[in-house]
Each structure stands twice: as C-alpha cells, then as structure tokens.
Structure 1
Amino acid sequence: MVEEGAPAPVSKPRLVATDLDGTLVRTDGSVSERTREVLLAVEALGVPVVFVTGRPLRWTEVVFEHVGSHGLAIVSNGALVWDVARDEPRTVRPMDTATALAVSQDLRAAVPGTTFAVESLEGIDLEPGFMERATLPAGVRRAPIEQLFDRPALKLLARHEELDPEEFWSLAEEVVQGRLVVTWSSTSALLEISAPGVTKASTLAQVAAGLGVEAADVIAFGDMPNDLPMLTWAGTSYAMADAHPSVVAAADHLAPGHDDDGVAQVLAGVFDL
C-alpha cells in the first residue's frame, strides 16, 4: 500500500473500473457534476468506463448516464453484464438452484435467525422475515426461500439482525465451504452470495478480454470487501480514503474519499485532464 497522491502509472490505463457506493457515489446518493465531467472526458479519450457494482440492476440504472452511451455495467457482483446502449443483458451468470437452496438451508441451520432474499433479472423476492432497508419496488413477492428459486437467481442475500457483518461472513464461509462465493459490502450484517467463481474480478476479466484489454492496463477503484478480487486483479488499484481496512491494505494506492470526488481527482491526474 502506498500513500495518498501516488504518482500516475507510467502508461495510461486502457480501461477504468469503478465501484459505485462508497466509491463513485457520494453519501447522499449523488454523482457530482465534477465526477460526471471527468468520466465523460475519459470516455472521450477512447477509454471505456465500466461500473462494477454489487447493486442490482434496478439500482444501477439510475447512474447509467455517467458511463457513456456505449458503456457496459457489471451488476450484482459480477452475475450480470448489462449493455447500456442496447438496454439488454450481455452476460448472465446465475446460481445453480439446488446448490443455492442447499446453502440457504445449511446456513439457517448453522446460524439461526438468518433470513433470505433472491435477486433475479425480474427484481427481488424476499422471505417474510427479511427486513429490507431500502424502498422495495412494486410487485415484490414474499414467500419461503424454497419458493423463491423459480427463476434464475443472480444473487442470494442473507441477513442477520444481531450479528456483526464480518462475524456473519466468517460463519457463512465455514458453512458454504466454497460451494458459492460469499462476500459483503454493507454496514449491516447482509451477505451477498453468488455462483462459484462469480466475482467482480472474474466478470471484469471477461469484459476486458472482449475489449482486448489486459489486467495490467486496468485501473480500478473500490471501498469494501466485495471489491477485493477486482482490486487485486487490476494492474493499478485505488482504495478510497474511507474504505474498509482490508481494502486499504490490499490496494496499490489511496484515493481521496468518495465525498471528495476521489475517483475524479485520481483520473484527472492519471489522464492529464
């Protein structure tokens, strides 16, 4: 880990990958005009900007205007690649239903009080006891977990109302034992569970390869544990100044905080904007 304000890479990156919440998006949920201008300037140089987020599609669409008309967005921690220009999925990496159901049953047995929700292309469905913090869209189903896997699941959400987020993640890792990928990015005990091998990094690698870009030519930004695979894969990585300690330790460089337009500040320097 180097200090904040580290020198720009010797060669200019050929792809920018950035997380949203806690990274590009401010605490009030906005993307500043300065950040928007910098992203558009980078795009104008022919360098694609790819949003790589744990958000579901319905929460990512609100910031698509900032990714460029031809851009791609990696959604749900890598389970979905969305073609912004065509407004359609390019890649879908769902979970195996039997495995996801077995994991949910095992996790509840090992950690009583666990409740679940399932994200799909159609939206979110929740168990009756799952306490969602955000406003839910119309038409949300509430049913036992066994009834929520009737369509391809992009992400399984597990919530606990009493445990610490990292403690819950550690317990879940012992239960899951590699059958699925378990990560987290919330200040509450909310786990985000994906198909085997599905991470921000693995899907970003596919997108980059399709664009003829190698890992060494990617600059990535993040702030939470679900960003770690992407940050360790990218040739140049920045943790936000207010990132989780594990992210700060893993990244190459430290960017100013997300409320200080840290991504924009770094990119302006890297690309001499």
Structure 2
Amino acid sequence: MTPRLVATDLDGTLVRRDGSVSSYTREVLAALDLRGVPVIFVTGRPLRWTTPVFEHVGSHGLAIVSNGAMVWDVAEHLPRMTRAMEGDVALEVAERIRTAVPGSMFGAERADGFVTEPGFPTGPEIGATATLAELTGEPMLKLLALHPDLEPDDYWRRAEAAVGDLATVTHSSTFALLEISARGVTKAATLAEVCASLGVDARDVIAFGDMPNDLAMLTWAGRSYAMADAHPEVIACAAHLAPSHEDDGVARVLAEVFGL
C-alpha cells in the first residue's frame, strides 16, 4: 500500500550535515504536498532551531518538536499541543541522575527559552543561567543532562536505570547529552495523536530516523527506514535501510515509493 503520511526526523536524516535541505529533497517534498501527502517533521530540535526548515513543511503546516513535547502549527504560529514535564518531577529526575552519575550538568528547554546551570556548555547560543532549583521551578519541554566524560550510550543506560519510572530518557547526539521528557512523551506518542486527528493509521505511515530518540517512532510506523549511517540500535530496529542523509536518502526512498 502507498503510505498516506510521511514522518521524518531532521538532523542526520532529512537535513544534511551543513544544516541544509538539498534542492532535490525540496522538490520531492513539494511534489508530495501537491499530492496531498503530509510530510511531518518529527524532531528533537527545540522550536527555535526548527524555524529555519519550516518553509519545507508544506500546506498541512504541522511539525512535532522537542521529541514530541510540542506540536507546532506553522501557519498559525502557535502550539497545537504541549506535553510538558512538571518542575517537581524534573527536579527529582535531575537529583536522581546526579546521585547515580556524579558530574552531570543540567539545562531546560522551556516554551519561552533555554535555561542552564552555570558551566553547562551552550555553544554559540547562550541561554539564561540558574540554580537547579530555579531551573526546575516551572514546567519544561525537555530536561537536558550532560556529562563531560562518558560515552553517550553508557550515560543513557545509567540515567534510564535511575529515572525510567519517572521520565522518558533518550539521546540524539554524538556526545553524552541526554534529552529527558515527561513520562510517556515520545516522538511516536505525539505522532500517533497527530495521525489520529488526520484519520491516518500507523500502518499508513512511512517513517525515517537515525538516532535512539527515533526508536519509538520507527517501531510504531507501518514502514520504517533507518539511515545508512544511523545508530546501530536504529538500524537493528528499522525494517529498511535508506541511503545516507548526505545522499538525499529520505528523498530518494520517497521518490521510489511514491513513483515520483
């Protein structure tokens, strides 16, 4: 059966290493939009980092950001759905992780911006700084936990063992940065709600991803593709393998599947 909806991760999947969307990929997305096939971006990126690719969302105008914590209506410039983690839960999660894995540092992605503990590496974007108690003083879309010395998968498993009963822990970086959402909030859970609102079943969804934060979505979708250079667990999970994101893998698969 031809899929009725496309769900794709961005970094390492649809978007090239330099952050661009190739002209070929743009053409394929536009062709699907003309056919009335929604292409939903399902990303770990916060809203502010997703804005540059919104021009490629298409007429349906929806994007799922922050690993499922928010559904954003691009046309209306407002959230359709928000699934935040309460501050008291985030504080307990952070305290448990810090006890289980000393040296952990924390940041928070909130609807109104990025807040970190002092010393948390922020790269070119510098958010506000706060104590852990202040940082978790209000609901957040994602709690971020970083460790300067551990391998990503090791940190992920140790944190999951410490707080898996309280929150959803995943990662999508090549260094030890964890993305922690309210319990039960995943790309798959929010995508399922969006698809239900559109009258689309899981079996009619084709999904693409490359990192552990995509595992739930790839398991849920009726047809799943891991990128050629994806995390080993993602390759093992997905039913199919797509070419690399540097080789327009998503667009090439979609062109074949939809006969473009």
Establish whether TM, by shorter chain, passes 0.5: yes
Tell me, yes or no, if the aligned pair for 1:79 and 1:154 is still in contact at 8 Å.
yes
Q: Which runs of 5+ in 2 are unaligned?
A: none
- Deviation at residue 150 of structure 1 after TM alignment: 3.4
Q: Does 1:230 align with 2:217?
A: yes
For 2:51, the equivalent position in structure 1 comes to: 61
Structure 1 counterpart of 2:37, one-letter code: V
Distance 1:177 1:63 in 2: 32
Say whether 1:162 aligns with 2:149.
yes
Mapped to 2, the partners of 1:177 and 1:22 lie a distance apart of 26
In the TM superposition, what is the alpha-carbon distance from 1:96 to its structure 2 partner? Answer: 1.9
Deviation digits for residues 112-170 of structure 1, max 9, x if unmatched?
110000001111101002112x3215xx2101111013332000000000000001011
Is 1:101 aligned with 2:91? yes
Query: Structure 2 length as normaliser, TM-score?
Result: 0.98
Q: What's the counterpart of residue 31 of structure 1?
A: 21
Instruction: Give the drift of 1:110.
Output: 1.6
Name 1:46's counterpart in structure 2. Answer: 36
Residue 136 (structure 1) aligned with residue 116 (structure 2): no
Runs of 4+ off more than 3 Å = none
Cα distance in 2 between the residues matched to 1:152 and 1:207: 22
| Matches of 1:193 and 1:263, distance apart in 2 | 27
TM-score (normalised: structure 1): 0.94
Question: Could you say which structure has the greater relative contact order, defined with CA pairs below 8 angstroms and 6 or more residues apart?
Answer: 1
Q: Is the 8 A contact 1:79 1:94 kept in 2?
A: yes
CA-to-partner distance for each residue in 1:15-35, whole Å, 9 max, x for gaps?
Answer: 000000000000111100110
* SS of corresponding position for 2:233: helix
Give ranges in structure 1 of 5+ residues lacking alignment: 1-10
Establish whether residue 173 from structure 1 lines up as the match of residue 138 from structure 2. no
Cα deviations by residue, 1:54-113 (Å, 9 ceiling, x for unpaired): 000000011000111332100000000000111110000000211110110111122111
**Where do 1:2-21 residues align within 5 Å?**
11-21=1-11
Partner of 2:233: 246
For the 8 Å contact 1:69–1:84, the answer to whether it is kept is no
Q: How many residue pairs get matched?
A: 260
Alpha-carbon RMSD across the aligned residues, in angstroms, is 0.9
Could you tell me the percent identity over the aligned residues? Answer: 64
User: Which deviations, in whole Å up to 9, do the C-alpha atoms of 1:222-244 show, x marking residues without a partner?
Assistant: 00000000000000000000101
